């Protein structure tokens, strides 16, 4: 066995092999995959092999779609049978909301490139003459997916990888992993040790134990799932054509043809079964493990499948597959760097890993090799979870997701499992005032305030809280509003080398003026956007960095891993130590003057300045910035003082008409100012040039991460720009992932949108070729299957000169 390799992948299931194949295909053939048993002997071999392309997330849809383009070709490429059946799939809608959901995915399909049609019950019965369509409004017919023999497909990728030079070592368990002083890793296995530059945890149901060797939490729960195979069915024998894979919310089940038999998989709704492997763990020796059939939990779903497909009713069951696979709290896989470690990667946590294996492998290989992938991987980055995602949280979320597998989650719908995980001291107080919370990386954040007791009627369209949000926006624009945004990621970067360090890691120059605030971005080595910080200079050697809640782990790593050993810099994550109130609106200064003796005048405290001040008797950091575009301050204080300060702010604000506002209003107000969001617009697919944000890059200050690549980019022709558009939409706004059209040609994709309540316009950002980003250009955006006119705006829809912020 090799004693050195560039990459060691632990685990020979669909995920690990999918990665190995793509690393080799891109040129990294010095790669060893170590598997404790036979390839596929974990969760892969027993899977039902379905590869859906109906995915409502733009980036996940790309992962799935890529797999569906590779799998049909593998057999010819390698000679290994893969059992690919390109029979397509049909998913049922039984409610108008589900139909809207289909329309949303239809737009994603147009962008990503998989074929999808919304068809009526009659057409469904033409394609599958055996299904009853009672209560079915429509079907989403995806024509490019199918099912595969998972073992054959995985082995085909393994053969192809071997042919390109990769090495596979079977029947060799990895027993430990050690970091080496030179930055390499030592992978300890039964057949010897391998020293390598990169380690990948592709251990499937064992991934959490592999993570524990290097001290990282892998948020997975391993759950059982069952499908049944019937004896051959006459109707299938008599017919040449295969029915598509049916996905049915009525039964929470999938069903299809398996050769001439029926195959039925049920996601039981009741949450009573114990999660597998909660105590003690699966034996390391386990291989090709299945469990005894458990009929009771799946009977309700099975009965409904029989109603739908009466030809199944009289067929005997010849096989029950009851196996385990891992699930994460949000059901997306874990693809990317392990938190806190250099060159240690996750390629695990996949609950639909057959469908995802190749796509995940392709884009993760790019990330490992080039420092960034060509798609936005924020939604699968393992660092989206923190210590809050412990076993209890993970298990609760995973169970909930499993039982709701085909049940639509509507925009605005909040599900209870695992909550609240992270709260600010104001949580209960605001809840009592009507706050409706939404969750972001564990944090509970007010989304809107129900002052009259109303409940949101969740929808893809504008809902019954539209006017409530308008009121919250009005309060901020006309009076003063307050928002608890304690979820901000907060770092203190201090020390004699802090300034030089930040100037080396970030693209902008940090302020040389005490109290100066700048927006600064971390870039990848390829010059793409990796992170965004608001950097305030506190004093000679101290800087306060604010960034998006979701970036906490990522940014902590970016700062720590970029620090040189000899740099005198201390990096401290103080996210949970400080609470944050956003106070904004034209009456804001008057309000603060009542509870603070600080000089808040424009002369002493201009826009883009931070100062230590006393407000309501509490010393805090006050920053004259906000993301709503009004006169305002962000108040950052010791978190145990948050409630007292909030009370004082509220008491002082009543005479000015103070109001609480939430994330819905924040989104509307920010969109009016054309503010981008990290992870949505500011993503690793683009550089600061495509984002039109070169003014936040300082090339003169000397070298910084990504500088040369960005200079190179300046000389190249751009493929994308972000256009800011006004959309002629009356009932539904852009959500992200909608296609933009010039005639019948798809020319771009939206990233986000919102209704601007002050300017009374539906606003959105669209990634388009540069020619379409010119102000005044018109094209169409398809929202929920309807084309709407879009016009590119020259600048922010609200206060383009920033008079209000400077007021
Ligand atoms: C009944 C059932 C049906 C399913 N149907 C579908 C489907 O239709 N479509 C779909 O997309 N998904 C399906 N899935 C899910 C799918 O099986 C998994 O998502 C997928 O197999 C995960 O692949 P993996 O490579 O991450 O894990 P695995 O296949 O489990 O691979 C991990 C490998 O790591 C090895 N390993 C672990 N620890 C070590 C170590 N220390 N040293 C060496 N090797 C180690 C294991 O032996 C194992 O082979 C189904 C799951 C179940 C239970």
Whether 613 and 396 have beta carbons less than 8 Å apart is answered as no
Residue 28 sits at the vertex; the CA angle it makes with 22 and 32, to the nearest 5 degrees, is: 85
Ligand 1 atom nearest 322 alpha carbon: 1
What is the per-residue burial (b if ≥16 Cβ within 10 Å, else e) of 354-376?
A: bbbbbbbbbbbbbbbbebbbebb
pLDDT at 390: 95
The pLDDT value given to residue 644: 98
pLDDT at site 279:
39
The model's confidence at residue 168, banded by pLDDT at 50, 70 and 90, is: very high
* CA 328–ligand 1 middle distance (angstroms): 14
Q: Which atom of ligand 1 is nearest to the CA of 150?
A: 21
CA 359 to chain centre: 16
Best of 21, 39, 42, 82 to mutate for ligand 1, by most ligand atoms within 8 A of CB? Answer: 42
Alpha carbon distance 414, 437 (integer Å): 8
For the chain, the straight-line distance linking the first and the last C-alpha, in angstroms and rounded, comes to: 70
Q: Which atom of ligand 1 is nearest to the CA of 223?
A: 53
**Residue 287's pLDDT band (cuts 50, 70, 90):** confident
What's the 786 CA to ligand 1 centre distance in angstroms? Answer: 40
Q: How far is the CA of 385 from the centre of ligand 1 (A)?
A: 21
- 266, 305 Cβ separation under 8 angstroms: yes
Token pair in block for residue 760: 């009374």
Tell the residue number behind the tokens 């938190």, with chain if given. Answer: 339
Residues near ligand 1 (Cβ within 6 A): 10-16, 34-37, 41-44, 46-50, 173-174, 202-206, 210, 225, 227, 321, 323-325, 348, 350-355
Rounded CA-CA distance 455/234 in Å is 51
The yes-or-no verdict on residue 278 having pLDDT over 70 is no
Name the closest-CA residue to atom 46, ligand 1.
42
Whether the pLDDT of residue 275 is over 80: the answer is no
Ligand 1: which of 9, 10, 13 to mutate, most ligand atoms within 8 Å of CB?
A: 13
**Could you tell me the distance, in angstroms and rounded to a whole number, from the CA of residue 590 to the centre of ligand 1?**
61
pLDDT score for 263: 98
Structure tokens at 223: 């759950």
Q: By C-alpha distance, which of 184, 161, 196 is closest to 1?
A: 196
pLDDT surpassing 50 at residue 240: yes
DSSP state for residue 350 in the 8-state scheme: -
Q: What distance in angstroms lies between residue 349's CA and the mean position of ligand 1's atoms?
A: 9
Distance 308 CA to ligand 1 centre (A): 30
Among protein residues, the one with the nearest Cα to ligand 1's atom 18 is: 353
Position 280 scores a pLDDT of 41
pLDDT at 69: 98
What average pLDDT does the segment 10-34 reach?
98
| Distance from residue 325's CA to the centre of ligand 1 (Å) | 6
Question: What CA–CA distance (Å, rounded) separates 368 from 365?
Answer: 5
Give the separation between CA 62 and CA 445, rounded to whole angstroms. 30
Q: Determine which residue's CA is closest to atom 3 belonging to ligand 1.
A: 47
pLDDT digits (tens, 9 = 90+) for 468-478: 999 999 999 99
Q: What is the pLDDT of residues 550-562, one digit of tens each?
A: 999 999 999 999 9
Q: Above 80 in pLDDT, residue 445?
A: yes
Atom of ligand 1 nearest to the CA of 44: 21
**Ligand 1 atom index nearest CA of 189:** 42
Q: Measuring from atom 27 of ligand 1, which residue has the nearest CA?
A: 204
- pLDDT tens per residue across span 641-655: 999 999 999 999 999
* Cα–ligand 1 centroid distance for 255 (angstroms): 21
- Ligand 1 atom closest to 350 (CA): 19
pLDDT at 269: 84
- What 3-state DSSP class applies to 366? helix
For residue 274, what pLDDT is reported?
Answer: 56
What pLDDT score does 272 carry? 60
Q: Distance, CA 205 to ligand 1 centroid (Å)?
A: 7
Distance 670 CA to ligand 1 centre (A): 42
Residue nearest to atom 12 of ligand 1 (CA): 352
Closest ligand 1 atom to residue 17 Cα is: 25
Distances (CA, A) of 102 to 137, 379, 516: 11, 21, 48
Q: Which residues pair with 440 in a beta bridge?
A: 443
CA-wise closest residue to 356 among 73, 143, 59: 59
Q: Residue 287 C-alpha to ligand 1 middle, in angstroms?
A: 11
Nearest-CA residue for ligand 1 atom 50 is 47
pLDDT at 273: 58
Number of neighbouring beta carbons within 10 Å of residue 486: 26
- For the entire predicted model, the pTM comes to 0.97
Distances (CA, A) of 603 to 4, 248, 606, 607, 681: 63, 64, 6, 10, 34
Could you tell me which residues come within 8 angstroms of residue 324 by beta carbon, excluding any fewer than 6 positions away?
43, 205, 222, 223, 224, 225, 276, 277, 282, 289, 291
Most informative mutation of 203, 282, 382 for ligand 1 (most atoms within 8 A of CB): 203
The pLDDT tens digits of the residues spanning 693-713 come to 999 999 999 999 999 999 999
Mutate to test the pocket of ligand 1, among 354, 364, 405 (most ligand atoms within 8 A of CB): 354
- Which residue blocks in 314-414 are alpha helix, DSSP H? 353-370, 391-403
Q: What are 411-441's pLDDT values in tens digits? A: 999 999 999 999 999 999 999 999 999 999 9
* Mean pLDDT value across residues 578-585: 98
Positive or negative: CA dihedral 108, 109, 110, 113: positive
Cβ count near 512 (within 10 Å)? 8
Atom number in ligand 1 closest to CA 323: 53
CA distances from 496 to 500, 539, 617, 646, 747 (A): 9, 11, 31, 35, 49
pLDDT of 276? 54
Mean pLDDT of 1-20: 97
Q: What is the mean pLDDT of the chain?
A: 96
Q: Which atom of ligand 1 is nearest to the CA of 347?
A: 26
Q: Which of 7, 31, 23, 18 is nearest to 366 (CA)?
A: 23
755 in Cβ contact with 462 (< 8 Å): yes
Coil, strand or helix at 326: strand
Give the pLDDT confidence score for residue 369 in this predicted structure. Answer: 97
pLDDT digits (tens, 9 = 90+) for 32-65: 999 999 999 999 999 999 999 999 999 999 999 9
How many whole angstroms from 14 Cα to the centroid of ligand 1? 7
DSSP state of 221: E
* pLDDT higher than threshold 80 for residue 270: no
Cα-only R_g, the chain: 27
How many residues are present in the chain? Answer: 807
> Does residue 335 contact residue 359 with C-beta atoms inside 8 Å?
no
DSSP codes, 659-697: EE--HHHHHHHHHHTT---BTTTB-TTS-TTTTT-GGG-
Interior/surface letters 402-432, b for 16+ CB within 10 angstroms, e for the rest: bbbbbebebbbeeeebbbebbbbbbbebbee
CA 219 centroid distance within chain: 15
């Amino acid at each position: 066995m090799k004693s050195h390799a560039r990459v060691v992948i632990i685990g020979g299931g669909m995920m690990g092999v999918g990665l190995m194949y793509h690393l080799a295909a891109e040129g990294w053939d010095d790669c060893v995959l170590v598997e404790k048993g036979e390839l596929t002997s974990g969760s892969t071999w027993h899977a039902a092999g379905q590869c859906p392309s109906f995915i409502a997330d733009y980036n996940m849809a790309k992962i799935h779609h890529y797999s569906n383009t590779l799998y049909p070709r593998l057999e010819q490429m390698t000679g290994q049978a893969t059992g690919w059946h390109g029979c397509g799939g049909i998913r049922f809608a039984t409610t108008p909301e589900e139909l809207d959901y289909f329309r949303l995915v239809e737009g994603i399909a147009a962008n990503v490139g998989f074929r999808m049609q919304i068809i009526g019950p009659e057409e469904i019965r033409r394609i599958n003459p055996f299904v009853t369509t009672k209560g079915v409004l429509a079907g989403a017919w995806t024509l490019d997916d199918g099912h595969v023999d998972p073992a054959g497909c995985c082995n085909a990728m393994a053969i192809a990888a071997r042919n390109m030079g990769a090495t596979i070592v079977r029947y060799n368990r990895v027993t430990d992993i050690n970091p080496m002083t030179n930055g390499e890793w030592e992978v300890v296995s039964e057949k010897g040790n391998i020293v390598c530059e990169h380690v990948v945890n592709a251990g499937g149901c064992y991934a959490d134990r592999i993570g524990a060797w290097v001290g990282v939490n892998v948020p997975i729960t391993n759950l059982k799932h069952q499908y049944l195979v019937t004896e051959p069915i006459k109707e299938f024998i008599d017919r040449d054509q295969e029915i598509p894979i049916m996905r049915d919310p009525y039964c929470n089940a999938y069903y299809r043809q398996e050769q001439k038999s029926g195959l039925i998989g049920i996601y039981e709704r009741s949450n009573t079964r114990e999660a597998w492997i909660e105590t003690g763990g699966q034996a390391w020796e386990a291989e090709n493990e299945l469990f005894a059939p458990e009929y009771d939990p799946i009977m309700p779903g099975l009965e409904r499948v029989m109603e739908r497909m009466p030809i199944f009713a009289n067929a005997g069951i010849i096989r029950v597959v009851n196996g385990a696979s891992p699930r994460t709290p949000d059901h997306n896989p874990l693809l990317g760097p392990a938190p806190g470690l250099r060159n240690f990667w996750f390629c695990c946590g996949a609950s639909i890993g057959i469908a995802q294996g190749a796509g995940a492998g392709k884009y993760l290989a790019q990330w490992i090799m080039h420092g960034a992938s060509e798609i936005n991987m924020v939604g699968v980055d393992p660092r989206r979870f923190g210590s809050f995602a412990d076993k209890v949280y993970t298990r609760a979320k995973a169970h909930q997701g499993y039982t709701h597998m085909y049940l639509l989650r509507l925009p605005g719908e909040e599900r209870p499992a695992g909550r609240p995980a992270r709260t600010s001291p104001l949580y209960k107080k605001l809840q009592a005032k009507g706050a409706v919370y939404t969750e972001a990386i564990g944090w509970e954040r007010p989304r809107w305030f129900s002052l009259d007791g109303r409940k949101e009627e969740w929808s893809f369209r504008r809902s019954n809280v539209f006017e409530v949000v308008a009121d919250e926006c009005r309060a901020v624009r006309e009076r003063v509003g307050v928002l608890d945004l304690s979820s901000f990621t907060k770092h203190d970067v201090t020390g004699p080398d802090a300034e030089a360090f930040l100037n080396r890691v970030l693209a902008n120059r940090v302020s040389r003026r005490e109290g100066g605030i700048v927006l600064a971005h971390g870039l990848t080595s390829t010059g793409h956007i990796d992170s965004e910080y608001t950097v305030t200079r506190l004093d000679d050697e101290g800087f306060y960095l604010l960034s998006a809640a979701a970036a906490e782990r990522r940014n902590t790593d970016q700062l720590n891993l970029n620090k040189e050993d000899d740099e005198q810099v201390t990096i401290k994550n103080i996210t949970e130590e400080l609470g944050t109130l956003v106070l904004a609106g034209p009456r804001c200064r008057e309000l603060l003057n009542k509870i603070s003796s600080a000089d808040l005048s424009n002369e002493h405290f201009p826009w883009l300045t931070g100062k230590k001040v006393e407000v309501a008797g509490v010393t805090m950091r006050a920053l004259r910035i906000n993301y709503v575009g009004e006169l305002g301050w962000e108040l950052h204080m010791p978190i145990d003082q948050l409630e007292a300060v909030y009370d004082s702010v509220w008491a002082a604000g009543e005479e000015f008409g103070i109001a609480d506002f939430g994330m819905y209003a924040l989104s509307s107000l920010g969109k009016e100012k054309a503010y981008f969001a990290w992870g949505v617009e500011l993503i690793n697919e683009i550089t600061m040039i495509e984002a039109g944000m070169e003014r936040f890059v300082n090339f003169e200050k000397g070298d910084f991460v990504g500088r040369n690549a960005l200079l190179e980019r300046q000389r190249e022709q751009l493929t994308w720009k972000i256009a800011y558009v006004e959309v002629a939409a009356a009932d539904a706004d852009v959500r992200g992932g909608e296609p933009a059209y010039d005639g019948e040609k798809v020319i771009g994709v939206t990233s986000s949108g919102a209704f601007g309540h002050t300017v009374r316009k539906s606003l959105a950002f669209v990634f388009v070729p540069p020619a379409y980003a010119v102000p005044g250009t018109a094209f169409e955006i398809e929202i929920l299957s309807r084309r709407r006119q879009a016009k590119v705006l020259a600048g922010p829809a609200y206060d383009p000169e920033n008079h209000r912020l400077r007021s």
